[in-house]
A = this chain, B = another copy of it.
Amino acid sequence: MAPSTPRLVVPIDLTKKPWEQKFTLHNRWHPQIPAVAEVKVGELFRVEMSDWTGGVIKDDDSAVDVKSIDLSTVHYLSGPIRVVDEDGKLAKPGDLLVVEILNLGPLPGDEWGYTATFDRENGGGFLTDHFPCATKAIWYFEGIYAYSPHIPGVRFPGLTHPGIIGTAPSLELLNIWNERERELEETGLQNLKLCEVLHSRPLANLPTTRGCVLGKIEKGTPEWEKIAREAARTIPGRENGGNCDIKNLSRGSKIYLPVFVDGANFSTGDMHFSQGDGEVSFCGAIEMSGFLELKCDIIRGGMKEYLTPMGPTPLHVNPIFEIGPVEPRFSEWLVFEGISVDESGRQHYLDASVAYKRAVLNAIDYLSKFGYSKEQVYLLLSCCPCEGRISGIVDAPNTCATLAIPTAIFDQVAISL
């Protein structure tokens, strides 16, 4: 076998539940979730993953599964994977873990995905005040392309990527997360301005033992209870990377992740066949199962050398990455603008979230003139390769945000003015 056949370190059997897999998945961040595999720097290896819900969402025409999903169970991650150098020495806190994404795709035999909006009372989304009901679109893949029986007339190449890749936090970092998110939840209402109706979305997703799956750690044991009560939810991206939903993290990308525990113990999941910037509908990419072919490297002491703490502790850092060379090529883009004035006409101060919301709403209204329902366009803009930009963020009081849509994704030419 050539040295370039990747070693499968985390297999997935799609006929089994997340807790029945050879290496039980996990859906929390915690330093004490044990590694399930070890890889050496330079080694080519393959990680398989279920879709983020562990198979709850089905390939059918009903959104009942989306409406009733128990969100305490997501996202199911593969790993953690421990990384050692050529001498077998573990990655250490303070190092940078370099993860190069060499290939990825859907799992063979499972070439489909879904995009959904959650019900306002169960998850919601960026525009939940406009689209309060659960909806779902199924996507089928034709190699690099996706098409949907629920959104006819569009077909586009995927910029496939893992929504989540991150290293295990140290206990100290975990405490920082839990503390700041708890404070937001407790004091957040007066802090909040995005849109009153968004209040029905949880401000933060704090640790809960409900739905918790912790890899090898047996449920119900005192160890499990302790970890489950402490472990961070996987919803937000944080200092360790995690659920960053960066659509350009595709083939050929290199990610520089800070290491907080011995071995780095990185996990990955939430594969997206394609996603638009913002992933606006929340369950918004084309969600699927998949595989990654990866290679790791360790930059010893790299955190201090390359990252600068952006907060009160040396742990307040963010990953860096490089984009790969094979993104789909589009030449014509239709662009919608938004400013930080909300739908009621109220002026907000340099608020990029409000501006982006308005740009997305403008795009939805425009595209719905071409035979689509607004719900269909909302799903489409969530998962197609559209670009969300912060164009101007200093011209008080209006941020200008833009949403650029490649017109080639549409069959009909008439989509342009």
Q: Which of B59, B246, B417 contacts A337 (CB 8 A)?
A: B246
Chain B min CB distance to A228 (Å): 20
B180 touches A346 (CB 8 A): yes
B365 touches A308 (CB 8 A): yes
**Chain B residues whose C-beta falls within 8 Å of the C-beta of A391 in the assembled complex:** 244-247, 277-278, 388
The chain B residue with its CB closest to the CB of A316 is B345
**A78 to B294 Cα, complex, angstroms:** 31
A254-266 vs B: 1/0 string, CB under 8 Å? 0010000000000
A222 within 8 A of partner (CB): no
A417 touches B306 (CB 8 A): yes
Interface residues of A in 80-104 (CB under 8 A from B): 96, 98, 100-104
Interface stretch among A17-25, A28-36, A398-406?
A398-406
Interface residues of A in 221-252 (CB under 8 A from B): 235-239, 243-248, 251-252
The chain B residue with its CB closest to the CB of A189 is B349
B361 touches A392 (CB 8 A): no
A325 within 8 A of partner (CB): yes
A59 touches B389 (CB 8 A): no
B184 touches A143 (CB 8 A): no
A378 within 8 A of partner (CB): no
A9 within 8 A of partner (CB): no
A117-136 vs B: 1/0 string, CB under 8 Å? 00000000110000000000
Beyond known contacts A144-B252, A245-B392, A321-B335: 8 more, CB 8 A cutoff: A2-B140, A102-B142, A203-B397, A247-B391, A281-B394, A282-B394, A321-B337, A352-B390
